[in-house]
Amino acid sequence: MAEEAAAAPEEQAEGEPKKKGPLLKIILMVVAVLLLIGASVGGTLLATGFFSKKEAAKEAVDAQLEKLEDKKEGGEAHGGDGHGDAGKKDEAAKAGGEAPQKELVAPEADSQRWKFNYHSLEKPLLSNLSGSRKVMQITLTVMTHYDDRVIKNVKTHELALRAGILDVMRQKSEADLRDPDFRKQLAEEVRLVINSLLEKYEGFGGIEEVMFTEFVVQ
């Protein structure tokens, strides 16, 4: 009976759950501390914008790389030497010695001014005054700042110009002669007639002043 009573407590002790050892508690505490530290560091980095700065730096580097690639592709598209059309123009200028000058066009089109050009009509112009027996004789010189093409046109159409000038002279009377500004007015009328005829035949006039080198009324 004494043996059975002694064995009963031993069996009851074996049926109870075993208590956890101190080693397991230490491991759990270490893991908890590490998780706490990791969470603290991650929160600090996130609060200071560390990750956003890293992403911005990466985007900046990618943008620079894209620009370099675009420049390289652009240089190849313009001849592969990086100079493009500018290089071709330089080569063309060297091959030709000099760059071609701009071709001159009609003076009225580009208003290109040059030196003074003068031209005198070869023969005097003679006409009767309106309602009078008196005769007016003049010799004309025209002036232009445009190039020689204006003078060439005057020579080409001199017969038509002389006829137009004579029509103006025939309309003048003795009363007109008494005006102190008669010569200036007559010169301006003659200039307008000349330019009108040149525009009719050549598309532009160009005569800027008419001068009388000879003026006689008798």
- pLDDT, tens digit, for every residue of 108-130? 545 555 578 999 998 999 999 99
CB of 153 within 8 A of CB of 199? Answer: no
User: If residue 140 lies in a helix (H) or strand (E), which one and from where to where?
Assistant: strand 135-144
| Distance spanning both ends of the chain, measured CA to CA | 183
Provide DSSP, 166-204: HHHHHT--HHHHTSTTHHHHHHHHHHHHHHHHHHHHHS-
- pLDDT, tens digit, for every residue of 147-196? 889 999 999 999 999 999 999 999 999 999 999 999 999 999 999 999 99
Distance CA 194, CA 57 (A): 76
- pLDDT for residue 21: 65
What contacts 24+ positions apart, CB below 8 Å, involve 36-43? none
Provide the pLDDT confidence category of residue 139 given band limits of 50, 70 and 90.
Answer: very high
Residue 76 has pLDDT above 80, yes or no: no
Residue 80 has pLDDT above 60, yes or no: no
Q: Token pair 């060297």 is at which residue?
A: 94
76-93 residues labelled b (16+ CB within 10 A) or e (exposed):
eeeeeeeeeeeeeeeeee
- pLDDT for residue 42: 66
- pLDDT for residue 137: 96
Domains of the chain (ranges, CATH numbers): 22-101 (no CATH), 108-217 (3.30.479.30)
- pLDDT for residue 30: 80
- pLDDT for residue 14: 47
Q: What's at 2, amino acid-wise?
A: A
CB of 139 within 8 A of CB of 214? Answer: yes
- pLDDT for residue 122: 86
Longest CA–CA span in the chain (Å) reads 185
Distance CA 24, CA 31 (A): 11
pLDDT, averaged across the chain: 75
Average pLDDT over residues 43-65: 63
Phi, psi of 119 (to 5 degrees): -150, 130
Angle of helix 50-77 relative to helix 22-47, nearest 10 degrees? Answer: 50
Residue 95 has pLDDT above 60, yes or no: no
